[in-house]
Amino acid sequence: MLSADVNFATGLLRIEYDRANDPRARAVAIVVGAGHGIEALAVADDTGLPPVSWWTRNRTEVSVAASAALLIVGWLLSWTGAETAGMAAHALAIIVGGSLVWRRAVVSLMARSLDMNVLMTLAVSGAAALGEWGEGATVIVLFALGGMLESRSVARTRREIGELMSLAPARARVRRDGVELEVGPEDVAVGESVVVRPGERVPLDGRITEGRSAFDESPITGESLPADRGPGDLVYAGTLNTSGLVVIVTTAGATDTTIARIVELVESAQATRAPVQRFVDRFSRVYTPIVVVAAIALAVGGPLLGEFATGISGFEGWREWVYRSLTLLVISCPCALVVSTPVAVVSGITRATRDGILVKGGAFLERAAGIRVVAFDKTGTLTEGRPVVAEVVALGDEPSDRVLRLAAAVEAHSNHPLAAAVAAAVGGPLPGVRDVREEPGRGVSGVVDGLEVSVVSARSAAEQGAGPGGAETTIGELEAQGLTTLVVLAHDTVPPRVLGVIGVADAVRTRAASAVEGLRAGGIEHVVMLTGDSPQAAARVAEMTGITEVRSRLLPQDKTGAVEELRAGYGSVLLVGDGVNDAPALATADIGVAMGAAGSHTAIETADVALMGDDLAGVPRFLALGRRTMRVIRQNVAASIAVKVVFIALAVVGKATLWMAVFADTGIALLVIANGLRLLGRTPER
């Protein structure tokens, strides 16, 4: 065996081994010997593992039910005076309910570890030695019941991720030689054509080649509204085709789809420990041996105090102190404390994934609670990275809508991005155009309704000696607002006359302003824009989004320096960028967030946090989730320690019983689990 890794959050065991020396049978024996069930994944059909039996799947539930029934029978027999029969029933309850506990205790001792199974075994064995069969049976039943409920609660978060992966359908309808065949997604090669009918889920990532439809992409992006997709657009495995038939060409294999990568990275993130979790683990490793030593000291030293301490001497005094030490042993089980943090972290990561936010580990949820500055890149982050018409100023006899239609008719025949923005700004059919000519770097012209019209840059218009009409002033005003200007000329005079000026700008994202407002409402006082664009363009976007601090004309290395300055001045920094161009600054920030990562495997794998869609509302939602997660963790740790302190004191003075200690420990463990699972609910938005 080369390596073995157990992810307790997801219940996965991964083994890397040399095929010449297959260790799987031995690994299975070890797992089963420790009292755990094990089965092969559906995708791993070559494991050679036997099918999982009904008994293996339900062993815990059966043993808990049987031991509880025997406990009740023992109580009834003792109540009717059949003490011997009652003791026998309680002994059987201990044996049946503790069968897994004993086995796991042996494994822990072999690993030189004092876990809860070892401590419970000592406590129950001691209770039986003292003749407290009923109490020992009660302890083991409560402990087994608590363990079963804990396992079921934690399994809920495992199901959340399992359900995400199960969204990808088991069959794909692929076109081969003009015939549609249904095959497994794993049998579809990259580049093949797949037909997806209305009401079906997309089996593999791909790009649409035929048809249009609306797709429910909420499993990937968290966006509840369907997104319209047509030829050339990407669609993702697991998304639902809601309306029209489409044909896609696959871009990824079954194991390399976006949803498969998300599941793999989330499972990895759930296995990583946040700093607060590592602290709790270290505390538990120190705390448990100390309490065990204290219990031994209590059992040995208590009887020496004799009647002075308890008023009881002789055998009864010794018995009383041993009982107190056993109670202290039970209390020393750090069940609630150990489970308090991982359940909250796993639930937080799972909730974020359902919201279309991919968090790479619990450490980033913890850091999110301490963020003081949020910095945004401009192009592609606050803006959509595509130009749109922002202003149309008529300077001649034609109204502004007529100026725009004339310009759009000509620009529709150009491939320039600015031309596409002008053409897209007009709804409905455009006027006919002939004799279209395009001069690279200068503009495009054509005859529209008998009038020769050209759309050129401001510099080209000046070179042509375009007639006056306030063009220079208008151009200056629009450029001062950060707009790129296009001049519309009519060539029915010499020099040509100016019909109007069109201002084009990068489109600001629809929810950018509300995202910034949400950050301020959540307590983030410093929201900054870092951009390589001009001060005018940056100022325009800042005004539209509500950002008050802008740093413009920054090179990539300048952005890194800006992040370091912001951290030194205000505290922890979260930077939102496109995941590729801003890589150095994203790496420098305390948390780097990549935008629109669903279409970029690079962004998914390199960012600390990835917003799968293009909705900036995910940023304040992620920070709110981080703060909420840390509140839950603090509540859980505080409650766990408080209960321990109270019951340790009660055990020392003889006011706590064994079953009370187990009930309190199991109860607080279930309470902190339930508190952690609350994070699976949607974080309230301010």
Does the domain made of 172-255 have the CATH classification 2.40.30.10?
no
Average pLDDT over residues 76-84: 87
For residue 568, give the 3-state DSSP assignment. helix
**Range with lowest mean pLDDT among 146-160, 171-185, 582-596:** 146-160
Residue 81 has pLDDT above 90, yes or no: no
DSSP one-letter string for 314-335:
HHHHHHHHHHHHHHHHHHT--H
Other CB atoms closer than 10 Å to residue 231's CB: what's the count?
12
**Mean pLDDT on 54-62:** 68
570-592 average pLDDT score = 83
Give the mean model confidence (pLDDT) for residues 634-638.
89
| Cα-based distances in Å from 375 to 274, 547, 606 | 24, 10, 18
Q: Which CATH architecture has domain 361-383+509-620?
A: 3-Layer(aba) Sandwich (3.40)
* DSSP codes, 648-677: HHHHHTT---HHHHHHHHHHHHHHHHHHHH
Q: Predicted confidence band at 207 (pLDDT cuts at 50, 70, 90)?
A: very high
Question: Structural domain boundaries of the chain?
Answer: 3-52, 172-255, 361-383+509-620, 385-508
Counting residues of the chain whose pLDDT is more than 90, the rounded percentage is 16
On the question of pLDDT at 9 being above 70, the answer is no
Interval 601-615 mean pLDDT: 77
Q: Which range, 33-37, 534-538, 629-633, has the best average confidence (pLDDT)?
A: 629-633
174 in Cβ contact with 194 (< 8 Å) = yes
| Range with lowest mean pLDDT among 62-71, 405-414, 465-474 | 465-474
Contacts for 136 with CB less than 8 Å, ≥ 6 apart: 90, 94, 124, 125, 127, 128, 658
Residue whose pair of structure tokens reads 């029934």 in the numeric block: 69
Please give the span between the terminal C-alpha atoms of the chain, in angstroms, as a whole number: 52
Other CB atoms within a 10 A radius of the CB of residue 464 amount to: 18
What pLDDT is recorded for position 572? 93
pLDDT digits over 390-408, tens only?
Answer: 889 988 788 888 899 899 9
User: Which position among 377, 506, 582, 615 bears the catalytic label?
Assistant: 377
Same fold across 172-255 and 361-383+509-620: no
Residue 149: exposure state from Cβ atoms within 10 A (0-12, 13-18, ≥19): middle
* Stretch 497-506: mean pLDDT: 89
Mean pLDDT of 73-101: 87
Of 147-151, 209-213, 444-448, 608-612, the range with the lowest mean pLDDT is 147-151
Average confidence (pLDDT) over 95-124: 80
Query: CB neighbours of 46 closer than 8 A, spacing ≥ 6?
Result: none
Q: What is the pTM for the complete model shown?
A: 0.76
Residue 21 DSSP code: G
Quote the mean pLDDT of the chain: 82
Q: What's the CATH superfamily of 385-508?
A: Calcium-transporting ATPase, cytoplasmic domain N (3.40.1110.10)
Q: Which of 276-285, 604-613, 639-648 has the highest mean pLDDT?
A: 639-648
Per-residue pLDDT tens for 538-566?
888 999 999 989 998 888 788 889 999 99
- The residue among 63, 90, 57, 64 whose CA lies nearest residue 75 is 90
Distance, in Å, from the CA atom of 612 to the CA atom of 262, rounded to the nearest integer, reads 10
pLDDT of residue 45: 47
- Decide which of 599 and 263 is more confident: 263
Verify whether residue 377 is a known catalytic residue: yes
| C-alpha closest to that of 629 among 576, 559, 679 | 679
Rounded mean pLDDT of 359-367? 87
With contact defined as beta carbons under 8 Å apart, do 527 and 549 qualify? yes
Give the pLDDT band of residue 154 (cuts 50, 70, 90): low
Contact present, 97 and 138 (Cβ < 8 Å): no
Q: Which has more confidence, 350 or 20?
A: 350
Task: Residue 604: count other Cβ atoms within 10 Å of its Cβ.
Answer: 20
> Tell me, what's the pLDDT at 316?
61
At residue 44, the pLDDT reads: 47
- CB-CB contact of 610 with 262 (8 Å): no
Task: From residue 153, give the alpha-carbon distance in Å to each of 237, 346, 405, 409, 667.
Answer: 29, 12, 62, 63, 13
Mean pLDDT of the 141-163 span = 70
